[in-house]
Amino acid sequence: MKVTVDGVSFVYPNGIRAVDRVRLDVPAGQRIGWIGANGAGKSTLARHLNGLLRPQHGRVLVGDWDTREHPTSEFAARVGYVFQNPDEQLFARTLWEEVAFGPRNLGRSAAEVRIAVAAALEPLGLGGLATAHPYDLRPAQRRDLCLASVLAMATPVLILDEPTTGQDSRGIQRLTQVLESLRELRRTVILISHDIDFCADQVERVVVFAAGHVLIDDRPDQVFSRSDVLEQARVDGPQLVRLARALELPALPWDVEGFVDSWAAIRTLRTRR
Partner 1 sequence: MIEVNDLSYTYPGTTRPALDKVSLRLGEGEFVGVVGANGSGKSTLCYALAGFLPTLYQGECHGQVQVAGLDPIRAGPSALAGTVGFVFQDPFSQISGARFSLEEEVAFGLENLGLPREQMAGRVKEALALVGLSDLAGRSPFELSGGEQQRLALASILVLQPQILLLDEPTSQLDPVGAKKVIESVDALTAERRTTVLLIEQRLEWMAAHADRAIVLDAGRVVADGPAREILTAPSLDALGVRRTRYTLAAESAVGRRLIPSPDHLPVTLEQAAVLLR
Partner 2 sequence: MSPAPSLYLPQPTGLQPLHPLTKLVLTLTVLSGAISLADPRYVFATYGLILVPLAGWSRILGPFLRYSFRALAPFLLSLVIIQGFFYPGELVIFSLGPFHYKAEGLGFALLFSGRLLVGLGASLLLLLTTRMDHLMQALTQRGLSAQIAYIVVTTLQIIPRFQSRGEAIFDAQRARGLKTEGSLLRRARALFFLVPPLLFSSLMETDARAVALEARGFGKPGPKTSWAVLTDSGGQRIVRALCAVAALAMIGIRLAAVARPR
User: Residue 169 binds which one of partner 2, partner 1, none, with CB within 5 to 8 A depending on kind?
Assistant: partner 1
From the number of C-beta atoms within 10 Å of its C-beta (0-12, 13-18, 19+), residue 135 rates as exposed
- Interacting residue with partner 2 among 27, 71, 128, 258 (CB under 8 A): 71
Strand partners, 10: 19
Site string for partner 1, 131-150 (x = CB under 8 A): -------xxx----------
Kindly state whether residue 10 participates in binding partner 1, applying the rule CB under 8 A: no
**Minimum CB distance to partner 1 smaller for 71 or for 139:** 139
Kindly state whether residue 211 participates in binding partner 1, applying the rule CB under 8 A: no
Radius of gyration of the chain (CA): 20
**Minimum CB distance to partner 2 smaller for 26 or for 77:** 77
Kindly state whether residue 85 participates in binding partner 2, applying the rule CB under 8 A: yes
- Interacting residue with partner 1 among 79, 116, 147, 196 (CB under 8 A): 196
Exposure of 140 in the CB half-sphere (CA atoms within 13 A): 13
**Minimum CB distance to partner 2 smaller for 55 or for 253:** 55
Range list of β-strands (E), the chain: 3-11, 17-26, 31-35, 57-62, 65-66, 79-82, 157-161, 188-192, 205-210, 213-218
Residue 237 · residue 230 · CB < 8 Å: yes
- Interacting residue with partner 2 among 15, 38, 64, 88 (CB under 8 A): 88
- Interacting residue with partner 2 among 1, 62, 76, 251 (CB under 8 A): 76
Specify the long-range contacts of residues 103-107, CB closer than 8 Å, at least 24 apart.
Answer: 103/152, 103/153, 103/154, 105/73, 105/76, 106/76, 106/77, 106/153
First to last CA, the chain: 52
Kindly state whether residue 41 participates in binding partner 1, applying the rule CB under 8 A: no
**Minimum CB distance to partner 1 smaller for 27 or for 139:** 139
Give the count of residues interacting with partner 2 (CB under 8 A).
28
Summarize as ranges the residues that interact with partner 1 (CB under 8 A): 14, 36-39, 84, 138-140, 165-172, 194, 196-197, 234-236, 238-240, 242-243, 246-247, 254, 256-257, 259-260, 263-264, 267
